[in-house]
Structure 1
């Protein structure tokens, strides 16, 4: 077994356990907030439409090499795009067969796909079921909420097509493949209505995503935030409103106050774990070392593709699967910083009591043209206000569980961050 090289902060590098494979570079929707086609990085234009079998075979071999180096018991492969189903049923079947042939003898593989759902039909689902591929679908809520941004290039709405696919995915025959829904937060949409519209499809899990933005190109509603905070926020934002916190808080309260949890909401569950001193394992929250790497359709190895919002070339590593190992990607400056925990954050974040929960926010959202990534997230005050609210709700809930008599009862944590 190879010993991991030392990363930033003197810590050993953490091997990659998640491999996001861009099996198709194009999409059949033209969502106006898409970070692939409408952000600063336009590298998709120079790539092949579909990942070839040769590129997939080399990628699988590199994953197997990485598995052997670090004795990994399990890896996760995420088929992504663009829209991955655009590769077609025949080519998708060949790609999945190749993954199984190269990796099943070496490691346990959990394979999933992120799709917009437009092409998802009975034949595709049968193919995905044969290869044990879970499916997550992007849905932004009600028809009006979803179709505000997620339209075809000619302007036609897409919600009806996605809804039909979700009903098929959630049918008894295919339900086991359903992994969840991804919903991008839009301040124009009512948060409770959005959450309840997602519940209509019986998803096992929902993941709310903040729109991508940086200090140079702030997300909608935060255009006034031109200067990063010079000190950690206390109790939310002293400098103005926190619209994304308000949106998330309303959705969280609806979810938290339900008699029983209708579905898991990843962002909410991870925030609750964090305020209780537990682990936080999302890319946008917490201090856990990043363990995901991207392989583009041409075999290029890249960092998280959310970095496309930062600038042209921002996700690049200079590596590819034909000439380089994934261990070489671990040695890049970006990965060392993203695996360094608290010491990988800027000075304001390192001094913040919320850092174990917030983790500085999504790496791309920290970027500032002057200070780079050593800056709090453009969502800093929103994240602080949201986490403070979650902490309060959890604190109150635990107080109600504290016994008032001398009889023993559940222990209450000694402190919340």
Structure 2
């Protein structure tokens, strides 16, 4: 690294750390209620639900009879983590640990961005995106799962087995990190990473099953859910309320959902869309011929966009996942996810407006609240379509170097972990 390049790197790093420190201090003051801006208090899940669950989990069982518990067994690790700081109140300890995980993601991205051939844009996606999303980042355990997923993607370009283990650990905590596996290039690397993920996941699930009853209750916990008011399908009912629809909004399964005529049908259609998204991913994987380091992250980001957008529930914390994977995508110069990631960052800001600032308008289906959801969900749909298009062009239609029809291997996958 030349002196000029080194100075530029330090300047960028210092600027990013300064912005990170300022914005995170503001978010921490927000969740600690030192600053009380307009909107809902986003900390109830921690001070209410998480703390209640921690009490039950400390007794060696899962809160399987609590309909708000809809998480895989590894979530217990995140919920119990604040007990590692017994000198702090539970909620305060949780916020501090969330801040630590946020700092870890930032450090991982900074380290990766300093490597030859990488871009600094990914660091800014995380630093700015989290700030725009607001205090919900520290008031949910999703930032912890995102830290695991970012670490998995960055390790995975060189260590297939370590990647598989980290992806499995993330999936046992909150399911969605299993999507990280979709982008592994075919061959020995995929066999090693998928085998490692399967073994790690089975061992963890078996361990929880033996030690704590009710560990698999999450598998059926959401079958009677309605359509959450922030989801894409919910727009049908937001508009329908202005034309005499007789349904209602209620706190149901831990979130505000639409209940009433037509809701089961829209919820079923959302699940059909998720199945179609899975079919597209399978087709893409069968047809893909060209892989690079960028493809590894791009495929995971695209898969996550597909399942987020088609979900019956698009909660604000889902954006944390997208910001983390999007940040990794923009580290690579050869990636094609710049526009979808930028749209995701913008959608994060609109998400902060709809929750917590104007959530009353969303629940009440006011024109302003509906407008916010149309913009946020429209941005996610656009990002999803553009990401699928870019991934297809990058891997299916692209011509590999030398004109060969064989897929390229990512550096390290064929030789590492031998």
Q: TM-score normalised to the size of structure 2?
A: 0.29
